[in-house]
Amino acid sequence: MEWSRIGFGTYRIDRRDPAHKLALEMAVDSGISLIDTSSNYTDGRAEEIIGEVLEDRGNRDDVIIVSKYGYIQGHNMFRFKEGLEFPETVRYSPDCFHCIHPDFMRDQLERSLERLRTDRIDVFLIHNPEYFMTSEVKGKEPTEDEVENNRNEMLRRIGEAFEALEEEVSKGTIGSYGISSNSFSEPADSSKFLPYEPLIELAETAAEKAGRDRHSFSTVQMPGNLLETVGLETCAVWAKRNGLKVLINRPLNAFNDDGGFRLASYRGPEDYDEVLAKTLEMLEERELDNIAAEIRKLDGLTGELKSVFHIETVYHQLHRILLFTTKRFPEMEMPLLTYFHRFDERSKHLSSLKVGEYLELKGIQYTTPLEDHALQYLLDNENVTSILLGMREPAYVGSALRVLERNP
């Protein structure tokens, strides 16, 4: 099958949200043939919604499913703490363990197939295997020998996983396999860098051990965007040269030494001041002066939040205000939710203006909406097979289709 140039990314897709289901239905009905997911995305609920939609529509064979394994979080963490352990597990943090061992791969593959309601995952990726290396150097400056030893051990573990994945290809449970790694976008001298050049040889050795004539290592995935170009300039070039598919994630979420940047344009709400005034008036009528003071403080933040990622850090404060207020005054729920929505819109709008100013200083100019420009930048890269775009709402699908129409 031909891979659509933009794929449906499901990082924050949840089967419990009707808008997410509508967006996925719209995408597959409109010809987006690639869906990217993982066993840990919303604790498996992303895979569940994919299974539901494709079964309802009866078009499983019209879609390429890419899924991943590696993370021990959520339900997997509960199982682990109940006593189900796997070899070579990396205990990265209290709420995030990681494992790429063949035993864990087979366990996760079985569960993913069940959630996806299918007997085959087209491309099954090892998800961020570099957690081993990251864990080994966390909190210290490693020596060159330590970095080298960590990389060698990482490659040994990947080689073992490749052999088990080749066996799954022989069984027909997966079509091919690969690696999704943030480390592919790291500079080669980083202690977290995962060397990609040995991977072809590892796959060839794995195929031979599994009794296969040729390897089925087919795909690499990595972050790439206007501000994060290392992987695009190195790993993607190598992958294309070796006949591999290149999937790019985080096309609109960029991170560098200057911080995080959402590469998208946002319109500001026209009635923000009106909604703010009405909300404050209603709070003061109920003698909720302390809540009104917090709302005024939030209003002062709208021009200070540097990015949408900073905006997300204040959401817990909004939730606390909502719970506290509506417990005594249920009628305040809708007015507060309305204000919070306008706060979100205004903050994102002001943040996008700052991002535009930053890009201009970097010499990046554009005349189309920023998100269109960011996607076009990747579509123009001959080494990129598909761009994975988060599409939690039908409007996001519409934006992707608009860009695809200009790139037949």
Q: What is the pLDDT of residues 250-275, one digit of tens each?
A: 999 999 998 889 999 999 999 999 99
**What's 304's DSSP letter?**
T
Output the pLDDT for position 35: 98
What CATH number belongs to 6-263+369-405? Answer: 3.20.20.100
* CA–CA distance, 45 with 263 (Å, rounded to integer): 27
β-pair partners for 121: 174
End-to-end CA distance of the chain: 16
**What's 95's DSSP letter?**
T
Which of the residues in the chain have pLDDT under 70?
A: 305-309, 312
* CA–CA distance, 237 with 296 (Å, rounded to integer): 51
In which region does residue 386 sit, left (phi positive, over 0), alpha (psi from -120 to 50) or beta (all else)? beta
Residues listed for the chain: 408
* Strands, E assignment, 217-376: 217-223, 245-249, 253-256, 259-262
Neighbouring C-beta atoms of residue 390, cutoff 10 Å: 20
391: closest CA among 52, 32, 4? 32
101: closest CA among 134, 129, 141, 122? 129
Burial class of residue 31, CB neighbours in 10 A (0-12, 13-18, 19+): exposed
Output the pLDDT for position 319: 81
Do residues 182 and 223 lie in contact, with contact meaning Cβ atoms separated by under 8 Å?
Answer: yes
Cα-based distances in Å from 216 to 107, 172, 200, 248: 20, 12, 10, 20
* CA–CA distance, 194 with 182 (Å, rounded to integer): 9
Output the pLDDT for position 141: 87
* CA–CA distance, 158 with 211 (Å, rounded to integer): 18
Domains of the chain, by residue range, sit at 6-263+369-405, 272-361
pLDDT in tens, 350-404: 889 999 999 999 999 999 999 999 999 999 999 999 999 999 999 999 989 999 9
**What's 224's DSSP letter?**
-
